[in-house]
Amino acid sequence: MSLVSITPQSRTAGTPAAVASVWFAPGQRTRPPRSCRVDLIVIGARGRVGSALLRQLGRQQGQLREDARLELTLIAAFDRHGFAFDLQGLAPDRLEHSFVPRRNDDAERLLEHVTRPGAPRTLVIDCTASDEIADAYARLLAAGVGVVGANKRANSRCLASYRRLQRTAREHGAPYRYETTVGAAIPLLGPLRDLRLRGESVRCIEGVLSGSLSYILHRLHEGCAFSAAVAEACALGYTEPDPLEDLRATDLVRKLLVLAREAGFPLELEDLHIEPLIECEQTGQRSLPDRLAAHDTAWRERIAAAIARGERLVVVAEATADGGRIGLRAVPAQSPFGQLQPGQNLVLIRTDLQDQTPLTVSGPGAGAEITAAGVLSDVLAAAAQLAGR
């Protein structure tokens, strides 16, 4: 979680806790604006994305204090097993020795602390894939606490829940940012909101939205076995903790729902037609690598047939106001989708003004460092919003 609190020095007469521009008479010495303290609480702090975020934050704290006038102070970090807390501030890149075993009530006591009346302005950073943490979003936003989430679960539940979170954030002036839930650090959700605000209707979204599946299929076309390609993607941190969420398109479904709703399409899960990459039993005595290896021959034959036709296989997600679809598609090898590099995403957005030549957004769609960079961008924007509140 992250908390924006204002240092006593910044509460000088009439001075807002945001960065302000002040004009002085000619010859008068200017006084630089003071920093606004923002207390950060990171959940999932020792996961891949959380760890990368803390390293990046540690490197940038001084520059952000100087250039953005934001005093980003990490006061708490926790995960399922450990908890670190210090109101004076923790060193983001030297946290390991600050963790103590987490008690059952630590998270709840922390939530009570930041949502109490008169609490400092707070920003919560969720680097988990936890339903339990997503359940807390409404409570945090209703208390005016900002939320930055890399967690897709909150916005991919039923449409009513998605709309409730948006409304709660607006009504309480709480920043709610989740750009990295779709496309890692690729700017997709912000541009979609801008299109809608200027009155431009989105007609269709089509794209390769899964960096993990993009990587796996690219490696298959290079001759790698299916099971080995999945293992590589896991080792690189491209997949979800359970790679079956990628292979069954569960993770991609969440991304498409978030993207579609940001485009203004009122879609529910049942409005999507889903074709998983594989059907893989959940139970049995065989290990996951063994179960994946059982698909190696079929995938080798499938890829060879596509190459012989001058095609490549990609997983494409598409949505309109009427529904959506996720599935494997054979595309010309020289097409934009066919030429994607491993782990890359490519999204085409068609609007009423930009239909024949759609808007195109592309870039790396997976990886802890790139995702953490996107989370940090959201943190800076959310902190600035809180500071100006």
| Out of 8-17, 175-184, 229-238, 357-366, least confident range | 8-17
Same domain, 170 and 216: no
SS3 label, residue 136: coil
Residue 177 has pLDDT above 60, yes or no: yes
* pLDDT (mean) for 55-78: 94
Alpha helices in 172-262 (DSSP H): 189-197, 211-221, 226-235, 244-247, 250-262
Name the average pLDDT for the chain.
89
Q: Which residues are catalytic?
A: 255
Q: What percent of the chain has pLDDT over 70?
A: 90
Contact 373, 379 (CB under 8 A): no
Same domain, 84 and 216: no
DSSP string, 309-370: TTEEEEEEEEEETTEEEEEEEEEETTSTTTTPPTTEEEEEEEESSSSSS-EEEEEE---HHH
With cut-offs at 50, 70 and 90, classify the pLDDT of residue 374: very high
Same domain, 222 and 328: yes
Same domain, 36 and 91: yes
CATH of the domain at 128: 3.40.50.720
CATH of the domain at 307: 3.30.360.10
**C-alpha–C-alpha distance, residues 269 and 316, integer Å:** 17
* Domain count along the chain: 2
* pLDDT (mean) for 272-282: 84
Same domain, 298 and 223: yes
With cut-offs at 50, 70 and 90, classify the pLDDT of residue 51: very high
With cut-offs at 50, 70 and 90, classify the pLDDT of residue 331: very high
Same domain, 167 and 276: no
> Residue 341's domain spans which residues?
189-365
Q: What is the predicted pLDDT for the residue at 71?
A: 93
The residue that leads in pLDDT, 3 or 266, is: 266
Residue 152 has pLDDT above 60, yes or no: yes
**C-alpha–C-alpha distance, residues 314 and 336, integer Å:** 11
With cut-offs at 50, 70 and 90, classify the pLDDT of residue 60: very high
Q: What is the predicted pLDDT for the residue at 3?
A: 35
Q: What is the predicted pLDDT for the residue at 282?
A: 59
* pLDDT (mean) for 115-131: 94
Determine the Cα angle at 243 with ends 239 and 342, to 5°: 40
The DSSP bridge partners found for residue 204 are 350
Q: What is the predicted pLDDT for the residue at 35?
A: 82
Q: What is the predicted pLDDT for the residue at 32?
A: 46
Q: What is the predicted pLDDT for the residue at 178?
A: 97
Residue 7 has pLDDT above 70, yes or no: no
At 338, which amino acid appears? G
Q: What percent of the chain has pLDDT over 90?
A: 78
Same domain, 145 and 83: yes
- Which two tokens mark 92? 């983001």
Q: What is the predicted pLDDT for the residue at 13?
A: 30
With cut-offs at 50, 70 and 90, classify the pLDDT of residue 84: very high
Same domain, 55 and 164: yes
At 236, which amino acid appears? L
**C-alpha–C-alpha distance, residues 251 and 181, integer Å:** 10
Q: What is the predicted pLDDT for the residue at 24?
A: 31
- Which two tokens mark 45? 């702090």
Residue 361 has pLDDT above 50, yes or no: yes
Same domain, 377 and 327: no
Same domain, 221 and 355: yes
Same domain, 102 and 163: yes
Same domain, 129 and 242: no
pLDDT tens by residue, 16-47: 333 323 223 344 444 446 789 989 999 999 99
With cut-offs at 50, 70 and 90, classify the pLDDT of residue 149: very high
Residue 12 has pLDDT above 70, yes or no: no
Residue 276 has pLDDT above 60, yes or no: yes
